[in-house]
Structure 1
């Protein structure tokens, strides 16, 4: 969706599983297909977008099957998908997959990388090799903790293009590919019945969309509410309107900095005891001391690590609740 229809994020928020069931009672057997049918029926997706998404989803599945060593096959003739949204040519799909596999082989990339995350192992080496803006862009990519396939969707490129950019870094050992066992929950799962207002609200003030999205993906499945604020100039007003239980605050931002925002928050009685965790890519003693002087509760390095983040959040929220 992000790759082929990047402007539809807001429209998608209006579609729920209840609406899907009402429009297509038979959707339980293949909910994702009928979700596309619903988007097409409501005019959110046009005919060309719908066909492009279906064709590329089928190509991805067939690509993965072609790369697998162990397969079993069963033909299901009990039903068919309805309504029909497009007609696919299997021979054309296989031709495109063959070209994709040839490209991966030419680039010396392993197809298994598709569902693995790139990790920056030697940041100091990469920093010496590229300009500061390029290094900053690479850092944001690695901090997002996305698989190669997810990165392709986020950046609007093909997985092979992302792999081609990573290959020189992989050869030098600057970057390694790491398997992930995290299963992404489907947006079509049943909504939780718990009152969301009872969940702790965590705010992240960071100008990087990738950082906010990464932290959101970590916290939401763990039962927390999340609000990402990417405009530091509006941060104070937003947290005043939605007081959080914990604040994650980036140290370096274009129009402001974490020291100033932290100091201003501590002047507000409502936030004197709110945990404020400083996020930074610089692990310097001066930064730590200065952050402590303006009232920060903790200092956490980027890239954000899932277990470290959850440990810090649980620790400070349990202390806050005990007060």
Structure 2
């Protein structure tokens, strides 16, 4: 089963999976709409949720028509770490050995199970985290208006700690989505960062305990979504709690592209961490172009044009990120990615697959073998650098310049 969200909505897809008692996984990709940037503010709020206006993907795993797990497509572990903070667990696990081959499609899920097996968390906490992550995944999906989906029948994500009934979740979260829209335009996105804008009025109007909590969380570094995880609350509850303060101007909501004084950052203003990037691509011209762009931004870039040599050379280079073309002779990108994911050393190294223009199925297959993300050719220097910064730099931000010089690849 596959199609576009303009033809069938997420709620209906979930209902069909439940009624058919299907086992497998649903992959959903949002579609960036450049036209949404041309709409007036009110239209944008009504039709294009702000976090929908970039390419993003999600996975939802099912067993006999029930939900086992849900995650964002980039396989980040930070979502679970945010919940660990709520339970006062200071540190998780770093690049541990995972013993769940069935979980290769979801390193995040395997990470959760490893925390459980290492007795860092107990089953009750693990179930609570799963429920929270499924809830926020469905919240994002039920907010989507544009995108594509593929549901693949297959074996269930294993082992299962819990399964969640679809109908109650579907009904509950659909209602929350409707209530969320009533918070516009004061609150736009779960990715917004609350920051105290009028500390004097806050001090004179609110009890000291409330002021203390606002000062702790409204630091311009913690998003509404992260705050919900830290507090183990749903996104709507947190948004409603801060809504009166935002409405009165005591709190300001900004995006990660802004500093505390409201200045918008561009690429030149962002502090970069040196990182080593390996590009596996049999086209020499493409490798040279990618190297030039990355080196100009202070990265160490290494190219491997012979895919048969890639696996051994990567162990020598020990990269922080890997770019890998899908279509190559003798050994394709899927095989290379699968081999790397079976190695403990590269279990969590970001792997970005380079796909063709019509690579929708390619992207799904790339996720299956453990790819972190993908970049569709031809791409711009801006798109390449944005994706690299997302996975190498410890600070996340959104690119705001209009420099879109195309790479002819």
More helix by share: 1
Between Structure 1 and Structure 2, whose CA radius of gyration is higher? 1
Q: Which has the higher contact order (CA 8 A, sep 6+)?
A: 2
TM-score in terms of structure 2 length? 0.39
